[in-house]
Amino acid sequence: MSLGAALAISQSGLAYTQRALAVAADNVANASTAGYTRKTLASLSSAVAGQGIGVRIGLAARDVDAALVAQINKAGGTLAAATAREDILRAVEDAHGQTGQADSLGDRVAALRTSFIALRADPATPSWQGDVMVAADAVVDRIRAAYGAVTAARQRSQDGVAKAVADINRDIARIGTVTDQIRQGRIIGISTANLEDQRDAILASLSENLPVRALATEDGGISLVTEGGQWLSIPAQGAAFATSPALLGDGSYYGLGGTIPAVTLYGNDITARVKGGRLGAFIALRDTTLPRYAAELDVAAATLAARFDAQGLTLFTGGDGTVPDPTQPYAGSPVQGFAAAFRVNPAIAEAPRLLRDGSQAIAGSPLGAADFTPNPADGPAGFTTLIDRILGNTFGSEAQVGVAWAPIATTGLGPDGTLASPFLAPGSIADYAAQVSASQTGERGAASVAVDDAKLLADGLASRFAERSGVDVDRELSLMVTLQNAYAANARVMSTVQAMWDALMQAVR
């Protein structure tokens, strides 16, 4: 080997170790940087006619398992969806009262029944009548508070849909920008490893709102496919997704004839095909979960009011003073939105004695309640006929002996009549109210379990990723020592070659 060749080889070694040291130092400096992956510097042995001529320096690159990244992004979308659902449902749960405090809707309806039991012992006592009115007001407060929370939660879900769409478009545009930079870097032959880290971080953000699968191309480009099977063009020409803000009312729904705006992709309605992520969670809450909750509260309020009214006491009404028929189809009927206007009848509040005497006569029906004649103003103070009807029938499962109440609706719910409760309705209104409370608050509990499970999975995947592609500072420092030794060795070779050159020149002279 000539001295010139030896010098060239040692120079290439010095150049490589210098670059490799810089890469290792950058790894150490960014060890705590979110989204940063360990970089390595490729090296290739150079030879001519079988004779080594040194080392060629490659580009800084990262070692990332694309399949693992895809799992992490999917898990991130699952966690984001579960968290959004838990957050929305927690507000509804809070409005149902404190768990274990005997304060739920079912508890308050049961307390109303208990107050009538106490009133029966002395129907003319104003204090017992006052206790019934307090219990009735408590039922109204719980139903209206829960309904208001559901309504607010549904609007939050709609607002969440609009925000998620805006965030998705922002991330798609950012991915497009970084992808263009990666392609340009590949063309001019510079490392794009840090840009690829940036793109992965944006993909993770995108997947929280809309889980996607990334398909990379050799030129550094990328294609995205949603879990619903929709392809996203990168870079996008304008906003890929679109929707509109909306204020939701009791009758608002998405679908044919509905007023809730669709989520579109390149102008095509994909609302029903959105799967996972915050966007999917918000759509499901807005269009399925929360309208069902509202309908169940409407049905509870209407059924309670109707069963009192059928026995001769119009204790509860809507804002217009009427009591709807809870057996009619829900969608578009007076039952829809009834919980929002549910109230204690002002006429009863002004004359509590009607709790004993009754507010109207009832013409009996073989399919409904039996005949009832109110106690006249000068009637017996110990009149208990109405109270017995209320205790035995209003709170029972029969309108009169041998005649069951019409089943409480659990299907045909929602503004479009397509929703159904996840339980079978019991015969009594107290049991139904308790079932509604348990079901609606229980779903928040299930959402919290889903959050915990999703966190566990996400943390496990993050640990695997850190082991595979993260920076181990100890390993980097050890590598830097090795590189320093290699640098010193190459420098010594150069010094030796220089000395040999000097000796040769002296001999020539």
- Locate the domains of the chain by residue range: 3-63+475-508, 70-456
493 Cβ contact partners less than 8 Å away, ≥ 6 residues apart:
6, 9, 10, 13
Q: Is 422 exposed, middle or buried (0-12, 13-18, 19+ CB in 10 A)?
A: exposed
Give pLDDT, residue 10.
66
Q: Is 376 exposed, middle or buried (0-12, 13-18, 19+ CB in 10 A)?
A: exposed
Residue identified by tokens 């190459």 is: 490
Query: What is the DSSP secondary structure assignment for residue 344, as one 8-state letter?
Result: E
Q: Strands 241-242 and 264-265, how do they pair?
A: antiparallel
Nearest to 39 by CA among 187, 196, 165, 169: 196
Give pLDDT, residue 45.
64
Which of helix, strand or coil describes residue 496? Answer: helix
Quick count: other Cβ atoms within 10 Å of Cβ 3?
13
Amino acid letter for position 284: A
Written as tens digits, the pLDDT of the chain (509 aa) is 565 566 666 676 677 678 777 878 887 888 888 888 888 887 666 655 556 556 677 788 888 888 999 999 999 999 999 999 999 999 999 999 876 677 899 999 999 999 999 999 999 999 999 999 999 999 999 999 999 999 999 999 999 999 999 999 999 999 999 999 999 999 998 989 899 999 999 999 999 999 999 988 888 889 899 888 888 878 766 788 999 999 999 999 999 999 999 999 999 999 999 989 999 999 999 999 999 999 999 999 999 999 999 999 999 999 999 999 999 999 999 999 999 999 999 999 999 999 999 999 999 899 999 999 999 989 999 999 999 999 999 999 999 999 999 999 999 999 999 999 999 999 999 999 999 999 999 999 999 999 999 999 999 999 998 888 877 787 867 877 776 776 676 667 666 666 666 666 677 66
Kindly state the helix (H) or strand (E) to which residue 18 belongs, with its residue range: helix 3-29
pTM here?
0.89
Do 156 and 87 meet the contact criterion of CB atoms below 8 Å apart?
no
C-alpha–C-alpha distance, residues 260 and 158, integer Å: 9
Q: How far is CA 81 from CA 207, 369, 490, in A?
A: 10, 48, 56
Rounded to a whole number of angstroms, the distance between the first and last alpha carbons of the chain is 23
